[in-house]
Amino acid sequence: MTDDDHTPREVATAADARDDADASAAGRGTVTDGGTDTAAGADDVELDPWGSATVDDYRTLFEEFGIEEFDDVLPDVPHPHYLMRRGVVFGHREYDAVAEAMANDDPFAALSGFMPTGDPHIGHKLVFDELIWHQRQGGDAFGLIADLEAHSARGLSWDEIDEHARSYVLSLIALGFDPEEGTVYRQSDNREVQDLAFELGSKANFSELQALYGFDGETNVSHMQSTITQMADILYPQLVGGPKPTVVPVGPDQDPHLRLSRDLSERMRFFKVTEAFASFELTDDERHLVRAAYDALAAAGDGAADADGGTEMGTAREDPVRCADAADWLETYDPTPDLTDATGPAIEKLRAAGKEPLRPRVRFLDRNATDEAFEDLIGRIEGDKRVFEEHIDAFDLTHEAAETLAREVELDHDGFGFRQPSSIYHRFMSGLTGGKMSSSIPASHISLLDDPEDGYDKVKAATTGGRSTAEEQRELGGKPDECPVYELYAYLLANDDDDLARTVYEECEDGDRLCGGCKEQAAELMREFLADHQEKREEAAELLEGMDIDFESDRRGTGGEH
């Protein structure tokens, strides 16, 4: 590899060596200051937590998997972290709830886990930093060592696991995690997590794991158990501190775990709160249609509905809107295309109910409630209500009040009352040698334990987005969006200094920056960072002594299932 001002841009041809999924392996997704994704290519994105962690096309994550764009929630985040500002954090699920709690000084939590399969590296640093930031914003922070997963899914022996586990915790603390305010645990040591995992396992079945993770008849049982343990990890902050918004910062390869944990958290609930208009059940789409019919007819004067569609005491209408009227109305209604299919079934249900009046209400469906909890809920609903075998309708409650009440009753009767966990996703870093960053190619990544001089050398030897000659570079500018060195600045070296990141980007693009000098500057910053980090690890070692975490697990076992 040449290393001067005219480094030719190497084509990414890194051998497709089997990659550790915990390595922040890189796709071609690159990041600009504005966070625009320039990735192009494969429309086949697989999210496999134990496979090779690459993402070729971030857009598919939004379209196919329903991850939301982080940019949409960014304006609501108080003092966003630089990884958020620079578009490294690109996606989320329901992060709004966390941002809102943060802004209102309400309780929230952040949790992530690390498989102790090797040395911590600069990919892990992204997640460490995200946890630490949330802790400093006032969140309850949790960092866990996924040792059960490393043993069952990766086949590491307990000795290897112990050694790496300690190293991860040292780096986490060295980067600023406060272990006295926050919680650090090992899965294997945490009985509450394992009990919760057992409980959650009763709501998940094999077909589901098969569909989500590609498990089959050959998958070992402990590996399956480790997925349900991860579900318990994700809900643990709410187990120990009560229901609260919880963010899980991870790479997008972990999204299947998030989807399952969001589902399971719902399935564990005692009650599901929905909205209804009459005695019968409606699907979400049908409900939209019936609401449209109800609103139109009530507004037309045959009913006295208040602004939010509810009826008010003392304004009882003489001529209620009836199901049959709504059916008539829908016959001539032209719904949006996504609701077309639901129109027939909605009309059918309304016709069947005939003269029954339509009356907006919230409905508590009994999902897992004990008999005592069900009875208690009936007693605590204020205003008009109607009790059925499997549900209760309340006519004078807002949806929000109903949610709050349902959770209170659940907690009073030994339920968990979980909120659905949120997540944020960061981009994978490109390898320094082009292609993916992989822990099996040392030159492609930087370990937090690398000798600072080696770190310096690796950066100096890195592939760039520069042109083939200095002249060309001055004329055309470099391509920071395709440059692993620029990524180093944006993801790590520029730290909180947006000006530095922007200057590198702009100077490169304008041809005012040549790769030799740019890499020299980056290499020096890397050397400094590593030296400083390693010094802080030494100090963290002392803190570890006082902590309630055991790095000599003394477990007996095999070298693991490979």
Report the b/e string of 77-93 with b at 16+ CB within 10 A.
Answer: beebbbbbbbbbbbbbb
**Which residues 115-144 are close enough to bind ligand TRP by CB under 6 A?**
115, 144
| Span near ligand TRP by CB under 6 A; candidates 108-116, 190-198, 214-222, 446-454 | 108-116
Q: Does 53 bind ligand SF4 (CB under 6 A)?
A: no
Instruction: Give the SS3 label for residue 310.
Output: coil
> If you write DSSP's letter for every residue of 168-200 in order, what string do you get?
HHHHHHHTT--TTTSEEEEGGG-HHHHHHHHHH
Q: Which residue is nearest to ligand TRP (CB)?
A: 113
User: CB-wise, 364 or 456, nearer to ligand SF4?
Assistant: 456
Residues 6+ apart with CB under 8 A from 324: 350, 351, 353, 354, 355
> From the list ligand SF4, ligand TRP, none, which binds 508 (C-beta under 5 to 8 Å, kind-based)?
ligand SF4
**Which residues 218-237 are close enough to bind ligand TRP by CB under 6 A?**
230, 233-234
> From the list ligand TRP, ligand SF4, none, which binds 466 (C-beta under 5 to 8 Å, kind-based)?
ligand SF4
| Angle at alpha carbon of residue 467, lines to 462 and 473, rounded to 5° | 120
| Span near ligand TRP by CB under 6 A; candidates 111-119, 316-324, 397-405, 429-437 | 111-119
CB-based contact 283:260 (threshold 8 Å): no
Which has the closest alpha carbon to 427: 114, 127, 20? 127
Closest CB 399 distance from ligand TRP, rounded Å: 30
Distance CA 384, CA 100 (A): 32
Residues 6+ apart with CB under 8 A from 547: 179, 184
> From the list ligand TRP, ligand SF4, none, which binds 209 (C-beta under 5 to 8 Å, kind-based)?
none
Closest CB 532 distance from ligand SF4, rounded Å: 23
Using CB under 6 A, count the residues that bind ligand SF4: 14
> From the list ligand TRP, ligand SF4, none, which binds 77 (C-beta under 5 to 8 Å, kind-based)?
none
> From the list ligand SF4, ligand TRP, none, which binds 73 (C-beta under 5 to 8 Å, kind-based)?
none
Q: Rg of the Cα trace of the chain?
A: 27
Closest CB 501 distance from ligand SF4, rounded Å: 10
Which has the closest alpha carbon to 91: 430, 423, 481? 423
> From the list ligand TRP, ligand SF4, none, which binds 278 (C-beta under 5 to 8 Å, kind-based)?
none
User: CB-wise, 46 or 71, nearer to ligand TRP?
Assistant: 46
| Residue in this structure with the two tokens 């009994």, named with its chain if needed | 366
Element (H, E) at 260: helix 255-267
> If you write DSSP's letter for every residue of 451-476 in order, what string do you get?
-HHHHHHHHHT---S--SSHHHHHHH
Give the up-direction half-sphere exposure of residue 381: CA atoms within 13 A in the CB hemisphere.
Answer: 27
Query: Which residue from 161, 248, 365, 493 is in contact with ligand TRP, where contact means CB under 6 A?
Result: 248
> From the list ligand TRP, ligand SF4, none, which binds 146 (C-beta under 5 to 8 Å, kind-based)?
ligand TRP
**Which residues 431-470 are close enough to bind ligand SF4 by CB under 6 A?**
464-466
φ/ψ of residue 212, rounded to 5: -75, -40
Q: Does 525 bind ligand SF4 (CB under 6 A)?
A: no
Q: Is 18 exposed, middle or buried (0-12, 13-18, 19+ CB in 10 A)?
A: exposed
**Which residues 32-51 are close enough to bind ligand TRP by CB under 6 A?**
49
> From the list ligand TRP, ligand SF4, none, which binds 293 (C-beta under 5 to 8 Å, kind-based)?
none
φ/ψ of residue 54, rounded to 5: -130, 150
User: CB-wise, 102 or 111, nearer to ligand TRP?
Assistant: 111
Distance CA 451, CA 172 (A): 18
User: CB-wise, 148 or 321, nearer to ligand TRP?
Assistant: 148
Looking at residue 489, the DSSP 8-state letter turns out to be: I
**Which residues 464-523 are close enough to bind ligand SF4 by CB under 6 A?**
464-466, 478, 480, 483, 485-486, 504, 508, 513, 515, 518-519
Using CB under 6 A, count the residues that bind ligand TRP: 17
CB-based contact 260:231 (threshold 8 Å): yes
What mask of x and - would describe binding to ligand TRP in positions 142 to 181, judged by CB under 6 A?
A: --x-x--x--------------------------------
Closest CB 4 distance from ligand SF4, rounded Å: 11
Give bridge partners of residue 393 from the DSSP assignment. 363, 386
The token duo for 526 is 């890397």
> From the list ligand TRP, ligand SF4, none, which binds 464 (C-beta under 5 to 8 Å, kind-based)?
ligand SF4
Which has the closest alpha carbon to 193: 151, 159, 125, 142? 142
CB-based contact 294:418 (threshold 8 Å): no
Which has the closest alpha carbon to 322: 287, 294, 280, 346? 294
Q: Does 268 bind ligand SF4 (CB under 6 A)?
A: no
Q: Which residues bind ligand SF4 (CB under 6 A)?
A: 464-466, 478, 480, 483, 485-486, 504, 508, 513, 515, 518-519
Q: Which residues bind ligand TRP (CB under 6 A)?
A: 21-22, 49, 111-115, 144, 146, 149, 230, 233-234, 248, 250, 254
